[in-house]
Amino acid sequence: MAYQSDLRPGLFKGRTIIVTGAGSGFGRCNAHELASLGAMVLLVGRKIEKLETVRDEIIEDGGVCDIGSCDIRDEEAVTALVATFIAKHGEVYGLVNNAGGQFPAPLDKITKNGWNAVVNTNLTGGFIMAREVYKQSMSAHGGSIVNIVADMWGGMPGMGHSGAARAGMVNFTQTAAYEWGHANVRVNAVAPGWIMSSGMDTYGPEFKATLKTLDQAVPLGRLGNEAEISASICFLLSESASYISGTTIRVDGAASQGNTTVYPLPKAKSITPFAGFHRAVTPELFK
C-alpha cells in the first residue's frame, strides 16, 4: 500500500522539507505524506533509532529522505544541523515545526524546571529551528513554515505550561509571517484538538481514563487522527496556500467552539474519519 493523500501526486517533487519530531505521531505521519507527494523529507528528532525506523519505512514505500538527530533546544546543534542539511541537499523549501511534549499537572504542582522544559521544547526550540532555516536558506528564496500548536484559546487547565508555550508559538507565527513576508516566506500554524496518536500511550492511568471520554466533548463525536493533521500541514506548505500567512487552522472537530455545560452536545451521527495513512497505528489506549 501507499499513502492515500487527497493532494495531487508530485506536489512537492524537487522540494526539500524538514520535519521535526519525525520519529513518531504527527511527525511520522506527515513525513510519510510529504514523501508520498515527492518531497525530499529531512527527519529530525532526538532518538536516532526512531528516525531510522521511519526512514526505512519511507524508503520501502518508494520515498526519499534523510535523518539528523538533534535536540531542538540546543541552539548550536540546530544551527549545525540546518547547515549540514543545506550543504547536502540544497535549499530548504519547507519546515514543519512539530517537535514538542508536555505532561499533565495543575499549575501549583509544576516546578520551575518542569515549566522551563516544556516551554523550551514547545516554544523556544521551534523558534530556533525557524530562525535558522530562515537565515540560512529561506531568506534568499522563500518558503513555508508550519508550526504545530494546540487548542489553548480557552486556557489549558491541567497543562498550563504547554498552553503558555503554544500561545507563544501562535504569536510567534503571526510575528514571523509579518517580518519574513518580504522574503516570500509564509508562516502558519496548525492547532490539533484531541487526536488519537501514539503520544496518548505515554500518559498515566488516571489521565488515560480521561482521554477515553474526550469524544463526548467534540461536536463531531469522535477524536481525530494523524492523517487529518497531516493533510492540513501539507495544504499550508503547498502553493495553493500561497496567500495564507500568519494564520492558525484549528483541526479539532469544533471542540474549541463551545461549552458542553452551557450547550450539551446531541449524540453525534456516525462520521467516517479520513484515513489516508497506510501505516497508522491505533494507540493501545483505544484498541
Angle at 189 between CA 201 and CA 261, to 5 degrees: 65
Cell of 280: 497508522
Residues in CB range of 43: below 8 A, 6 or more apart? 19, 22, 23, 27, 31, 51, 54, 55, 65, 66, 67, 68
pLDDT in tens, 71-105: 999 999 999 999 999 999 999 999 999 999 999 99
Q: Where along the chain do its domains lie? A: 16-253
Decide: 146 and 190 in contact? Cβ < 8 Å: yes
- pLDDT interval class at 120 (50, 70, 90): very high
pLDDT in tens, 233-283: 999 999 999 999 999 999 999 999 999 999 999 999 877 899 999 999 999
User: Does this model's pTM top 0.85?
Assistant: yes
pLDDT in tens, 13-38: 999 999 999 999 999 999 999 999 99
Measured between alpha carbons, how far is 143 from 164 in angstroms, rounded to an integer? 27
Q: Which homologous superfamily is 16-253 in?
A: NAD(P)-binding Rossmann-like Domain (3.40.50.720)
Measured between alpha carbons, how far is 10 from 33 in angstroms, rounded to an integer? 11
Query: Positive or negative CA dihedral for 189, 204, 119, 167?
Result: positive
Decide: 64 and 41 in contact? Cβ < 8 Å: yes
